[in-house]
Chains A and B, each alone.
Chain A
Amino acid sequence: MTERIVVDPVTRIEGHLRIEVDVDEKGIIQDAFSSGTAVRGIELIVRDRDPRDVWAYVQRICGVCTTTHALASIRSVEDALDIKIPRNAHLIRDIMNAAVFLHDHVVHFYHLHAFDWVDVLSALKADPNETSRIAQSISDWPKSSPGYFKEIQTKIQKVVESGQLGIFANGYWGHKAYKLPPEVNLLAVAHYLEALDWQKEIVKIHTIFGGKNPHPHYVVGGMATPIDINSDNAVHAERLMHVSQIIDEAIEFINKVYIPDLLAIGSYYKDWTYGGGLNNYLCYGDFSTGDIRDVNLYRFPRGAILNGNFNEVLDVDPKDPEQVKEFIDHSWYTYDGKEGGIGKHPWEGETSLHYTGPKPPFKTLNTDEKYSWLKSPRWKEHPMETGPLARMLVGYALKREEFVSLIDDTLKKLNWPFEAMQSALGRTVARGLESILVAKWMRDDMDKLLKNIKNGDQVTFDRTKWEPETWPKKAKGVGWIEAPRGALGHWIEIENGKTKNYQAVVPTTWNASPRDHKNQMGAYEASLKGTPLLDKEKPLEILRIIHSFDPCLACAVHLTDVVSKQTTNIYIG
């Protein structure tokens, strides 16, 4: 006998996610289903638009990873039209992408994920002197006095006593799965508030180069922001020093707050190694030290790992029609008027929305049939996990020094075997570790940018192929990127200066996908299976595992497939 438990909405994520699990009498999850419950159809909206405009439309797929879709889009257009961007533009884009990584990972850890490990109300019982001692023992971050932690405690006390708990309302406080002592909880709450303040600073890099954040501006062919160190209306010394300072402050925050907190909290949960899942990992790779086309120069390497076999990293090619395919056997779509059975590569996909789920309001979905607005992307028909854990493990398997030393050091600190990385906590740790790498690369790129400018190169834009008259009548391109949540690809087909076909296969679609034609689970589903719940009424463990992926559902649903030659039909019923 199993019992169905539903979590909907899953909060502290981007978008609308529903999780249904079946648990046995002992409270162990026997089966799990992940469903995206919203759709907007942006892939239909970009059709026939100017390819140079598309970045702005697809950027609105997501306001959290607010740059990744824009970058993937302009890369796809530049690939299709064979546009080589200036060195400065490449560096600026990588600095902006790095800023998204660091913003995203810190906000994820403190604001989206922390409450799965941190009991806010327990912090009220903490001795601020002891919190101060702990803080000073793990980091030399200056905000660590007993008085400081006392003040934070008073702030939270005031909110709790008001009876209006706000964002803390109805949390699973007091749940037995929380393991931190009150003093560490208080430390985490203090840094929750500090991170909230810090996150608004790092995005200023986007404001300087792209005018605003969220949703900074980009342009096909480079960057629109001009550099002229002797003009009052261009990027000059003051602007560059502003960016430089933000980068240094980010490195400090990552190394003195985020990482020490992550390891301190992780050490209390190191025996809770649930949430591993598929053990298949996929990376497109990114952060090239040369051009985006120089895959061998990627600092995040490209590759795939199957069945946890770290002795072999398989070649990945987003352009190969046999590798990436999407299936719809459990998704509310049809292919050629049929319910499924086949996979379609991005170039030949189809968008026909066809809702067959229960009429709202409903209690449970019919998970034997179709149950999600997400499709099921598969790599050579295998379900894959993508994201920080995949990137760190592929780097490790390829024996990249930066990756190996970081992971080995961390395993030693946590007294963990390597296999423990394949868990929810391992995923969360991997996200922190890659933040260290990305922060370092961001500093390197900034130094290179300054050096380039010093050497007299101030070019940011290549206008040779700006005008549609210079384009071929037909062209196809792919733009890939490592986004904070994983491997992202945008496929574009251009004809007569217009967008004919467009498709994105998005990290959260890989991770949160429903079952496929072979009834293989997606990464979320597989990671939940076998996890014991201490309290079925308060399924904290489900949130902990699902949040470890950093779900982004708006991304996952809204651009899952191509605008094909076929007419798009929408049915309801």
Chain B
Amino acid sequence: MKRKTILETVLDRGFTRRDFLKMCTALAATMGLDFSETDKVVAAMEKSARVPVIWLQFQDCTGCSESFIRSTHPKVESVLLDMISLEYTEALSAASGHQIEEARKHVMKHYYGEYILVVEGSLPMDDAFLTVGGVSAKETFIETAKGAKAIIAYGSCSSWGGIPAAYPNPTKAKPITHFVKDKPIILVPGCPPIAEVMTGVIAHIITFGTLPELDHLGRPKAFYRHRIHDKCNRRAYFDAGLFAESFDDEGAKQGYCLYKVGCKGPTTYNSCAEMRWNGGVSYPIQSGNPCIGCSEKGFWDNGPFYVRRAKIPASQTTINPETVGAIAVGVTAAGVAAHAAITAVKKKEQENHDRGERK
């Protein structure tokens, strides 16, 4: 039943593995590759068509799985049937119980070093807070990570700890990077991440055969390089000092900046403003809602959501636009002052960001 790899086909036809290696060497030469590249050709010939994926869910809400299946390009049907072989997922797998655990172990054994491990949700330090199949989640993760080619952390929980790790972190939840350190881990934060960002990371790996380039925090640069604020559709109003003072007021209806009602766009790195959500229909700020910064580390404890407080890195004090507005005169002046303050903050943050530090 299994589709044969080129190696298997060659062996079936009575050749030996030695013959196969000779063929690969010849092929590498034909392709103009150096002899040292032969092993890559061998590996490619031994491989199956679809990349096997194991998707583990831990302290999660399944929101990341749900977001994944919303992908418009590529469509999730094409991801599942053409690009990857999703051999283990609690959300979609037909099999349950020991049969699904056997499917996981099959991939771990037969595709050692080749499969991608996807993780949704954080991990509790204490085993009793999460078991699957009677085994602690931590143990399952460490065991499954061993043979993975790469690990993708989908969502803010697996990337940063997320909501289970919000104060007071009742179950001592940790991001997955706390448990495995010897593997490439791609962080794809967001609560949840945008569907096309999720499938985009997979598509990058499959299409280009490499892992995407990551920033200093481990996020793919293609999707997390800029702040939402940098590309916001309301940005011109921020620059002009025009703010909505309340939901549904005249400013809100005109599309003025939501900074004063708590928008975290100026401190949030994500693709919302550019790619938008659900096939490009909208994103929270466009629909009149202040960004809550859901792709940022520790965002649950950076609230309250409807009050804007920009942290000033040097002093760790906070400002809000009302205070700035009281010092400056007039709405426009307040806006400009706020912008200047924020720009200074962000400049500093950007410098830290570039140096690989945070705040």
Contacts and interface: CB of A to CB of B under 8 A. Distances in A.
Given A57-B166, A170-B103, A224 B289 contact: yes
Interface stretch (B12-20, B130-138, B204-212, B319-327): B130-138
B27 interface: no
Q: How large is the interface on A (under 10, 10 to 19, 20 to 34, 35 or more residues)?
A: 35 or more
Contacts of A4: none
A320 B167 CA distance: 32
A171 interface: yes
B91 interface: yes
A210 B289 contact: yes
Contacts of B286: 211
A234 B255 contact: yes
Indicate the member of A6, A38, A64 with the most B CB atoms within 10 Å: A38
A160 interface: yes
Interface stretch (A12-20, A143-151, A412-420): A12-20
Given A164-B50, A213-B277, A200 B170 contact: no
B48 interface: yes
B48 A6 contact: no
Interface stretch (A22-30, A393-401, A460-468): A460-468
A203 B278 contact: yes
A232 B304 contact: no
B97 A6 contact: yes
A364 B80 CA distance: 34
B306 A50 contact: yes
A11 B93 contact: yes
A360 B281 contact: no
Contact of B102 (A57, A170, A215): A170
Given A170-B95, A221-B247, A361-B136, A37 B131 contact: yes
Contacts of A52: 304-306
Interface stretch (B71-79, B328-336, B346-354): B71-79
Contacts of B119: none
Interface string A345-361: 00000000101010111
A11 B95 contact: yes
A553 to B, nearest CB: 9
Contacts of A11: 89-96, 100
Contact of B248 (A14, A207, A232, A459): A459
Contacts of A44: 168, 170
A200 B69 CA distance: 7
A9 B97 contact: yes
Nearest to B166: A45
A572 interface: yes
A197 interface: yes
A166 interface: yes
Contacts of A57: 163, 166, 300
B35 to A, nearest CB: 32
A13 to B, nearest CB: 7
Contact of B255 (A45, A208, A233): A233
A204 interface: yes
Interface string B235-264: 000000000001111001111000000000
Contacts of A466: 246
A363 B134 CA distance: 6
A481 B171 CA distance: 28
Interface string A193-213: 100110110011011111111
Contacts of A204: 278-279, 281
B284 A211 contact: yes
Contacts, number: 333
Contacts of A193: 77
Nearest to A55: B305
A63 B61 contact: yes
B191 A215 contact: yes
A461 B247 CA distance: 7
Interface stretch (B38-46, B121-129, B174-182): B121-129
A271 interface: no
A195 B130 CA distance: 32
B70 A213 contact: yes
B70 A45 contact: no
A504 interface: no
Given A45-B300, A224-B248, A570-B170, A217 B284 contact: yes
B255 A231 contact: yes
Contacts of B66: 63-64, 66, 214
Interface string B74-117: 01110011001111111111111101101100100000000000
Interface string A39-64: 11110110001101100110011111
A228 interface: yes
Interface in A216-253: 217, 219, 221-228, 231-234, 242
Nearest to B280: A207
B287 interface: yes
Contacts of A357: 128
Contact of A211 (B134, B247, B283, B306): B283
Indicate the member of B1, B254, B282 with the most A CB atoms within 10 Å: B282
A159 to B, nearest CB: 6
A461 B95 contact: no
B268 interface: no
Contacts of B169: 45
A13 B300 CA distance: 26
Contacts of B184: none
Contacts of A519: none
B103 to A, nearest CB: 4
Contacts of B95: 11, 169-172
18 contacts: A8-B97, A16-B132, A39-B130, A40-B171, A50-B304, A53-B306, A63-B60, A63-B61, A111-B92, A164-B2, A167-B93, A169-B87, A211-B277, A213-B70, A223-B247, A234-B254, A353-B129, A554-B62
Interface of B: 1-3, 48-50, 52, 57-67, 69-72, 75-77, 80-81, 84-97, 99-100, 102-103, 106, 126-137, 139, 162-164, 166-171, 173, 191-192, 195, 233-234, 246-249, 252-255, 272, 277-279, 281-290, 292, 294, 300, 303-306
For the complex of A and B, 8 pairs with smallest distance between CB atoms: A63-B63, A163-B2, A233-B255, A211-B284, A41-B170, A171-B94, A461-B248, A217-B289
